[in-house]
Chains A and B, each alone.
Chain A
Amino acid sequence: MDTIDEEAAAKVAVDHLDLWYGDFQALKDISLTMPEGKVTAMIGPSGCGKSTLLRTLNRMCDLAEAVRHEGSVTVDGTDVFGVDPNELRLKVGMVFQHPNPFPMSIKDNVCYGPRRHAEVSHADLDELTETSLRRAGLWDEVKDDLSHDALGLSGGQQQRLCIARAIAMGPEVLLMDEPTSALDPISTGMVEELMRELSRDHTVIVVTHNMQQATRVSDKCAFFLLGELVEAGPTPELFAHPKDKRTEDYLTGRFG
């Protein structure tokens, strides 16, 4: 059994989840827990269902047509399908594969969510902007011109801005869908470092194509194949001693 799960409580728990897009079954009987305050990585070849599972955790999967599911997904013991999706997303933030800042200033991007959801004073917003940008490791690069257009930033800066925008909402869980696949190696390194730091205050769940990335950033790792969860466990253990032949084949590059 997972040794991590015994140390840290499960923040997110997926229990016997099946999910279909129309007739296509994208997830088959998935049971997995994501420990609180840790980074959980989900790996596997394209189309294996890892992104679908990630998008189920904040119910972004609801957006597709004809989606149905069986089984349960809980955050802090609360069934995500039983709460309002917009409320759920305040608690479960998300960062996407391609940086998607809004076409507005850096500060407006960070303050966007909080402004929409709560009455916040200007002073609070200034402070929130600074803390969020600092925590996203972007503050020093942009502090002199917060009114600068966010689309004028580099790809890596835009992605860190999107992270700042997500954490400004104070989410407990942060989902990251291949957050570095559109970035250069230096920006990738920065974002990976961020994931480690963010996991002190947030439960981070990351989907990645990059197995080295999974070993660098994650505490727990889950390997998916064709909609099935093949194997999950503490990252070092999974990489060093995979229990399943398919995991071993994938990790050693024999297919994928």
Chain B
Amino acid sequence: MADVTSVPSQAVRAARHARRIAAQDRFATGVLTAIVGLVLAVLVAIVGYILVNGAGKLFDVSFLTSKPEQFRAGGGIGPELFNSFYLLVLTLVISVPVSLGAAVFLAEYAPDNAATTVAKTAIETLSSLPSIVVGLFGFLFFVLQCGWGFSILSGSLALTMFNIPILVRTIQQALEAVPRTQRDAGLALGLTKWETTIHVLLPAAMPAIVTGVVLSAGRVFGEAAALIYTAGQSAPALDFLNFDLTSASCPWNVFRPAETLAVHIWKINSEGVVPDLEAVSNGTAAVLMVCILAFNLLARWAGKAIARRLTAE
């Protein structure tokens, strides 16, 4: 029976176990903190680098408003800035209503059958489609097949394809997050499913929907690959007093080519010959990043403001 003495007592084993799991806990906390620290460091480094390098141009009004130069230094990004916003607005005008309809259908009306599952899977797949693929599809279909050329219309339709799956998922999740009791309340008052959806569910989901739309706007705003072959890589000088919708210099003409900020960065870095190439590239990157940052802040603010307005009236 010599072995018995070498077996630790119950209490000793419990204490040993407690020490071991405490050490595991400290170790896991340490590792997780280090990972988060690393992520933050990378983020700060990238954002800081872009802002510091682009700071000179970021507040330069003539850079923000003048047109780019082909060969000389001192070109601006005025048309690119306008194009980015115009494309964004058009994309949202097309994609928000479509996504809203699809999401309401999927969340509230779609029967639980094979067709619905296929539709949901298709949307998920589409949302992870590489944007260059969307761009090439847009080139083959909108640019060539439809004959719209490199244009704002082709570009915004490509961006719509890119944006719809994400928006549908966001809106669908927002609707599904509205408690079942709210649906019951509406229906029990004799409202139809449609009335309940429009008057009860959508308002309740609105803060999340608006946040989702604005965040998707940030993604669309910074998209380059899907636009290179659809909206084109040239930015005709714009004349804001020109309202001839067929003219290439009319800002609102949807059939003119329209290089955006993100595409501009790609283009001048791959084939630019201006002497201040690096400064222009850095400045554009900084402007783009500040805009996207602004979208993110706006998304938070708008979501909260709407939630407040809905509950405080």
Q: Does B145 contact A (CB under 8 A)?
A: no
Q: B residues 171-213 with Cβ under 8 Å of A?
A: 179, 181-182, 184-185, 187-192, 195, 199-200, 203-204
Contacting pair B189 A165 (CB below 8 A): yes
How would residues 86 to 97 of chain A score, 1 for a CB under 8 Å from any chain B CB and 0 otherwise?
A: 111110011010
Question: Which residues of B are found within 8 Å of A89, using beta-carbon distances?
Answer: 187-190
Given A86-B192, A100-B182, A116-B199, is A151 in contact with B311 using a C-beta cutoff of 8 Å? yes
- A167: min CB distance to chain B, Å: 11
Inter-chain CA distance A143–B101, complex, in Å, is: 40
A112 at interface, CB cutoff 8 A: yes
B313–A147 contact, CB under 8 A?
A: yes
A163 CB to nearest B CB, Å: 12
The size class of the interface chain A forms with chain B is 20 to 34
| Cβ of A250 under 8 Å from chain B | no
B259 to chain A, nearest CB (A): 44
**Residues of B contacting A105 in the complex (Cβ-Cβ under 8 angstroms):** 313
Instruction: Give the distance in Å from the alpha carbon of A108 to the alpha carbon of B312 in the complex.
Output: 12
A residues 130-159 in Cβ contact with B at 8 Å: 147, 149, 151
Given known A-B contacts A65-B112, A96-B184, A113 and B189 have beta carbons under 8 A apart: yes
Report chain B residues within 8 Å CB of A169. Answer: 189-190
Q: Closest Cβ of chain A: how far from B196's Cβ, in Å?
A: 10
Within 8 A of A (CB), among B202-261: 203-204
Choose among B184, B187, B189, B203 the residue with the greatest number of A CB atoms under 10 Å from its CB.
B189
Chain B residues with CB under 8 A of A63 = 187
- CB contact between B188 and one of A60, A98, A116, A147 (< 8 Å): that residue: A60
A113 to B311, alpha carbons, bound, how many Å?
18
Q: Are B181 and A86 in contact (CB under 8 A)?
A: no
A70 and B182 alpha carbons, distance in the complex (Å) = 29
Chain B residue contacts of A101, Cβ below 8 A = 185
Contacts of B191 in A (CB 8 A): 86, 113, 116
Bound-state CA distance A243–B200 (Å) is 47
A162 contacts chain B at the CB level, 8 A cutoff: yes
- Are the CB atoms of B311 and A102 closer together than 8 Å? no
**Is A198 engaged at the interface, CB distance under 8 Å to the other chain?**
no
Is there contact, CB below 8 Å, between A149 and B200? no
CB distance from B221 to the nearest CB of A (A): 31
CB <8 Å contact, A98 and B181:
yes
Residues from chain A with Cβ under 8 Å of B310 in the complex:
103-104
Chain B residues in 8 Å Cβ range of A94: 184, 188
Q: Quick check: is A117 within 8 A (CB to CB) of the other chain?
A: yes
B185 and chain A: residue at smallest CB distance:
A100
Residues of A within 8 A of B199 (CB): 116
CA distance A113 to B188 in the complex (A): 10
**A103, B191: Cα distance in complex, Å:** 17
Q: Which residues of chain A in 65-102 are interfacial with respect to chain B, using CB atoms and an 8 Å cutoff?
A: 65, 86-90, 93-94, 96, 98, 100-102
CB distance from B179 to the nearest CB of A (A): 7
User: A96 with B189: in contact, given A65-B112, A103-B310 (CB under 8 Å)?
Assistant: no
**Neighbour of B179 across the interface among A65, A93, A100, A116, CB < 8 A:** A100
Nearest residue in B to A113 (C-beta to C-beta)? B189
- Interface status of A166 (Cβ within 8 A of chain B): yes
A68 to B196, CA, bound (A): 24
Annotate A31-67 by CB proximity to B: 1 below 8 A, 0 otherwise: 0000000000000000000000000001010010100
**Chain A residues within 8 Å of B203, by CB:** 103
Given A60-B184, A116-B199: A104 in contact with B313 (beta carbons within 8 A): yes
- In the complex where A105-B313, A113-B189 touch, is A100 in contact with B112 (Cβ < 8 A)? no
> Looking at the complex, which one of A93, A149, A165 makes contact with B311 (CB distance below 8 Å)?
A149
- Nearest Cβ in chain A — how far from B133, in angstroms? 37
Interface centre among A98, A100, A162 (most CB of B within 10 A): A100
- Expressed in whole angstroms, the minimum distance between the Cβ of A206 and any Cβ of chain B is 15
| Cross-chain contact of A86 among B182, B190, B311, B312 (Cβ < 8 A) | B190
CA distance A98 to B181 in the complex (A): 8
Q: Which among A65, A149, A162 is the interface contact of B185 at CB below 8 angstroms?
A: A162
Contacts of B182 in A (CB 8 A): 100, 102
6 contacts between A and B (CB under 8 A): A58-B188, A86-B192, A100-B179, A104-B310, A116-B189, A117-B190
For the A-B complex with A86-B190, A94-B184, A165-B185 known, give 7 more contacts whose Cβ atoms are closer than 8 Å.
A93-B188, A98-B181, A102-B204, A108-B313, A112-B189, A113-B190, A113-B191
